[in-house]
Structure 1
Amino acid sequence: MRRTFVCRIACVIEKAEVSMLTYLILTTRQILTEAVILGALTGYVKTAAGKKQRRMVWLLAAAGVVFSIAIAILRNTTSMIDTAILNGWIYAAGLVSFVVFLIFTIKKPSDKGFAGTFPWIFAGVLYITIIGYGMPDVWAYPYHVLQQETTVISTDFLMSMIGMVLGIVLAVVTFLACEKLALRLGAGKAGIIAKLELLINAVMRLAGLFSVLLQKKIVQSNHTMFTYTVFVKNHKDLFLYLALAIVVCAALGLWIAGIIHKEPYRNPAEHRRIRMRIRSTRRWAATAFICCACVILNLTWLEKVNATDVTLSPIEEASGMDDENVYVDFSLVEDGHLHRFAYETEKGVQIRFIVIKKPNSTAYGIGLDACDVCGETGYYEKNGQVVCNLCDVVMNISTIGFKGGCNPIVIPYEISNGQIIIPISGLLEYEREFQ
């Protein structure tokens, strides 16, 4: 009996460690790129903008935080928000703001009049778009964990939140290191660093915008746009590493400059101030190196250690199929569990979709076995909840089949004579998602 108790304790501890590492890795991947970009941009704003302009930028940044919290609440508690469309507007606003900001800061902006304020308005909008895209998922992590745990008084919830907090702390320290290094570079070099980081952000957001335009059929299918979108989507970590590489180069340059460059001084007090400034710069450079190492460690070794292979349930056979529709009888899916079906196209591509009966209801949640964010990695059932196979986010079963939230991609269907009828044409629209 004692051995059984010890084994149970060991299982709880192991599960708690997995939860902590999972949310540490999720948070790191979600906001570290944004932390680096905003850190560099903040350093540039502090060196190049006037006092009034800086105050305006900080107010807009605060508005971005409020905006991100509102998105998180609405996205996870209602079906009011179409995530893809909202993200599309965020991407578009961010790209336009970047271009305008870039053009009007080629030369150092004036501190006076509208001309001096105009570029910093768009800098503030950049804060709103970057925070508005990066933070909502992080704010929603406690809600997602509670979907599985039902109470905050649990080891799993506590360890998951510790992982999230550690990820946020890593992001904040990285942000501060980037900001301090940019301040020490001066307005000219800080501007170059900030614009390079913003360019990386623009490359990623352009891919996101293309994805929305193609998915919503706002533009015609385009091979170049699709290839570009898939490349960026499959190499998100690469862009984070590029952003970190810029920071490392800046930190290394400042470190070496502190060794080589001998700044003249007129008295011992001035000499001490110079030495203190150099030591401070080296500390922040070392902090940047350590943060970069921690991020890389998180997304490589720790992710490998934490990896748990989840085998998706097998594809079930539908009740019937003709040239126009796939048919699923209620009797196949009325047990309240997740069921996975597929339609195979002429190209041999399996377009998977899921069906689950909603709790305490006669309605069904129906959607693709894929989402806008994680692609076609699929969903699995765990403890009565539907969970994303890639990011471990728990779906709200009651909102599956509705637009908005972190839900499976919506597909058309009809209910008739005890059957779910899914048009094949509606599935073929998403063939590329599963290629």
Structure 2
Amino acid sequence: MLQYLINVTDNTFVPVIMIALLSAVMVKSNYSHCKRYITVGFLLGFVAALIYAILKRTTGIAIREFYDLGVIIPWLVIALPLLICLLVKSCHNRFSQALLIVSSGLAIGLLSAQFVPNLLLYPFEFDVGMESIFNHDYLSKWVGYGFSLVVTLLIGLFAYRMCLRLADKFVVLITALAITILTLANGINFIQILIVRRFIAPQKWMMELVIFVLAHVNLFIFAFMAIALCLTAVLYFKANTTSLVGSNPAQVRKLKAKLRQDRRTSLWMIATVAITAYTVTRARYIFEKGVELTPAEPVTPDANGLIVIPLEKVNDGNLHRYGYKATDGTLVRFIVIKKSENAYGVGFDACDICGASGYYQRGNQVVCILCDVVMNIATIGFSGGCNPVPLKYEIIDGNMVIRPANLEAEKSRFK
């Protein structure tokens, strides 16, 4: 349950808040048919996500990094014009309003295209094998998935309601801040993909930036929590300081009811943000505690100068970790897992992005211990993404044979 409670929260919290802010700005602009643009933008993003999810599930042609580039690049292109439309005073003329609505609708489409694929694919990971779908593990995964989805949707609804009740200038500034933060996050993700796919040569500052973000997985979630709590605090203060003045008792009662609703919305927002904070901190700690790398089984070259591992030792379908002591004393780790009848996944216990943090087995999944990305076991042995750096091997007479020179060549990763 905790796994998908955390995954859905990580995946949806930031885009849901962003969609709520953009939707509120569009509605408050009083531009005709603005709600239609919101709906169309979301549906277009949903359709793109659905197509990707179907291709990902049924074929091997869908590559997440390329799909993400197709979402991130347009976002980076429209971010600056969107900020300008939000902040300049000329936004009050008809042309600027129209540009704001169109760019906001496009942004909402890109946001939905970015987070919906995982929501569609997660239920297919609720593997129960030949057991009944009513077993405890299967149901608990659905509970975690459904509960976190409801919480994040409520957060989006509360954020939208609060923005409609607050001053236009304040909402615009908060939205501009959120766009800036999300653009920074997408920019870092863009750099990470370019490095992983070897489209650019990584610079030292790039690697340090990406590794810092991976090591602080809650950084941008906390930033958007601060935005949500800022909205909450301002609305609650406004609800408690607004004078109950009206031309007649009916208007006073109506105002009083609205202020009471504002206070309730603020309190509900605090509660849902608290749940989110617990999920990404304490719940994540509970789920990940005890996850440690199993000791690497030492291997040494034989009389022929080759490392030989009998296949019968790695044919159980589990992850096996080995350690080779390099000439300079560095322990070079590598992993082996059987992928199919005649194929093995062999790679270093390190990747290009997370370094030598290592991998562990969780059920029938292989997971990066640093960023918690689940590996597609079929792709272990191939470069790209967070996959282990490939290690060459041969199958000879029922043994897996690895040449020490290939291990020595990558020892710098483990220093």
* Paired residues of 1:79 and 1:399 also in contact (CA < 8 A): no
Give the SS at the match of 1:166: helix
What is the CA-CA distance between 1:171 and the residue it aligns to? 0.3
CA contact (8 A) 2:83 2:179 kept: no
How far apart, CA to CA, are the structure 1 residues paired with 2:66 and 2:405? 24
**Aligned counterpart for 1:380 among listed residues 348, 356, 360:** 360
2:202 matches 1:221: yes
Distance 1:191 1:388, change over 3 A: same
1:362 equivalent in structure 2: 342
Which residue of the partner structure matches residue 42 of structure 2?
61
- CA distance in 1: counterparts of 2:51 and 2:333, whole angstroms: 32
Q: Structure 2: where are the runs of 5+ without partners?
A: none
Deviation at 1:403, TM superposition (A): 6.8
How far the C-alpha of 1:157 sits from its partner, in A, is 0.5
2:12 alignment counterpart: 31
Q: What amino acid maps onto 1:168 in structure 2?
A: L
Q: Which amino acid in 2 is paired with 1:201?
A: L
The alignment's C-alpha RMSD in Å is 3.6
Distance between the aligned counterparts of 2:239 and 2:92, measured in 1? 31
Q: Is the 1:31–1:171 Cα contact (8 Å) retained in structure 2?
A: yes
Specify the alignment match of 1:209 in structure 2: 190
> CA–CA distance in 2 between the matches of 1:38 and 1:65?
13
Alignment of 1:251-262 (within 5 A): 251-262=232-243
Whether 1:162 aligns to 2:143 is: yes
**2:53 corresponds to:** 72
CA contact 1:356–1:366 (8 Å) conserved in 2: yes
1:105 corresponds to: 86
Paired residues of 2:91 and 2:97 also in contact (CA < 8 A): yes
- Name the CA distance, whole Å, in 2 between partners of 1:260 and 1:372: 54
Say whether the 8 Å CA contact 2:366–2:376 is kept in structure 1. no
Query: What is the DSSP-based 3-state SS (H/G/I as helix, E as strand, rest coil) of the residue aligned with 2:321?
Result: strand
Cα displacement (A) at 1:156: 0.5
- Residue 80 of structure 1 deviates from its aligned partner by 1.4
Report the counterpart of residue 194 of structure 1 in structure 2: 175
Superposed CA offset, 1:129-186 (max 9, x none):
3233333233322221216676523210011110110000110111111111111114
Query: Which residue of structure 1 aligns with residue 291 of structure 2?
Result: 310
1:411 paired residue number: 390
Structure 1 residues 319-369: Cα deviation after superposition (integer angstroms, max 9, x where no partner): 759xxx98766465344332224567899776644322223x212233454
1:136 aligns with 2:117: yes
Cα displacement string for residues 257-316 of structure 1 (whole angstroms, at most 9, x for unaligned residues)? 222232632111211221122112111111111111111222333344444413433323
Q: Secondary structure at the match of 2:127?
A: helix
Whether the 8 Å contact between 1:412 and 1:422 is mirrored in structure 2 is no
> Take 2:120 and 2:247, find their aligned partners in 1: how far apart are those partners?
52
SS at 1:236's partner residue? coil
What are the superposed Cα offsets for residues 5-48 of structure 1, whole Å, 9 maximum, x if unpaired? xxxxxxxxxxxxxxx23322232223222222222222222212
* Matched position secondary structure for 2:134: coil
Asked whether 1:269 is paired with 2:273, we answer: no
Whole-Å separation in 2 of the counterparts to 1:407 and 1:27: 20
Q: Is the partner of 1:146 in helix, strand or coil?
A: coil
Quick check: 1:123 aligned with 2:104? yes
Q: Give the conservation status (yes or no) of the 8 Å contact 1:401–1:407.
A: no
Quote the residue 1:184 is aligned against.
Answer: 165
Verify the 8 A CA contact 1:412 1:423 in the aligned structure 2. no
Work out whether residues 61 and 127 of structure 1, in 8 Å CA contact, stay in contact via their aligned partners in 2. Answer: yes
- In structure 2, distance between residues paired with 1:105 and 1:136: 29
Secondary structure of 2:158's partner? helix
- Report the CA distance shift for 1:275/1:83 in structure 2 as closer, same or farther (over 3 A): same
Residue 87 in structure 1 maps to residue 65 in structure 2: no
Q: What code does the residue aligned with 1:223 have?
A: K
Query: SS state of the match for residue 220, structure 1?
Result: coil
Judge conservation of contact 1:101–1:119 (CA < 8 Å) in 2. Answer: yes
**Identity across matched positions, percent:** 26
Higher mean C-alpha deviation, range 28-37 or range 373-382: 373-382
Preserved contact between residue 369 and residue 408 of structure 1 (Cα < 8 Å): no
**Kept after mapping to 1: 8 A contact 2:72/2:186:** yes
Whichever residue aligns with residue 25 of structure 1, its letter is I
Query: Letter of the aligned partner of 1:35 in structure 2?
Result: V
Whether contact under 8 Å (1:145, 1:394) holds in the other structure is no
SS in 2 for 1:387: strand
CA contact (8 A) 1:144 1:394 kept: no
The one-letter amino acid of 2:24's match is: G
CA distance 1:348–1:216, change in 2 (3 Å): farther
Paired residues in the alignment total 409
Deviation at 1:392, TM superposition (A): 7.2
Aligned match of 1:174: 155
Answer with 226-235 or 21-30: which moved more.
21-30
Instruction: Using the TM superposition, name which of 373-382 and 102-111 deviates more.
Output: 373-382
TM-score norm. by structure 1 comes to 0.80
Structure 2 CA distance for aligned equivalents of residues 349 and 285 of structure 1:
55
Secondary structure at 2:335 match in 1: strand
1:299 aligns with 2:280: yes
Contact 1:310 1:389 (C-alpha < 8 Å) held by counterparts? no
Q: After alignment, is 244-253 or 68-77 more displaced?
A: 68-77
User: What is the alpha-carbon distance in structure 2 between the residues aligned to residue 252 and residue 346 of structure 1?
Assistant: 60
Q: Distance in 1 between matches of 2:327 and 2:102?
A: 51
Q: Structure 2 vs 1, CA of residues 393 and 205 (structure 1 numbering), >3 Å: closer, same or farther?
A: closer
Counterpart of 1:11 in structure 2 is none
Change (3 A) 1:74 1:367: farther
Change (3 A) 1:23 1:296: same
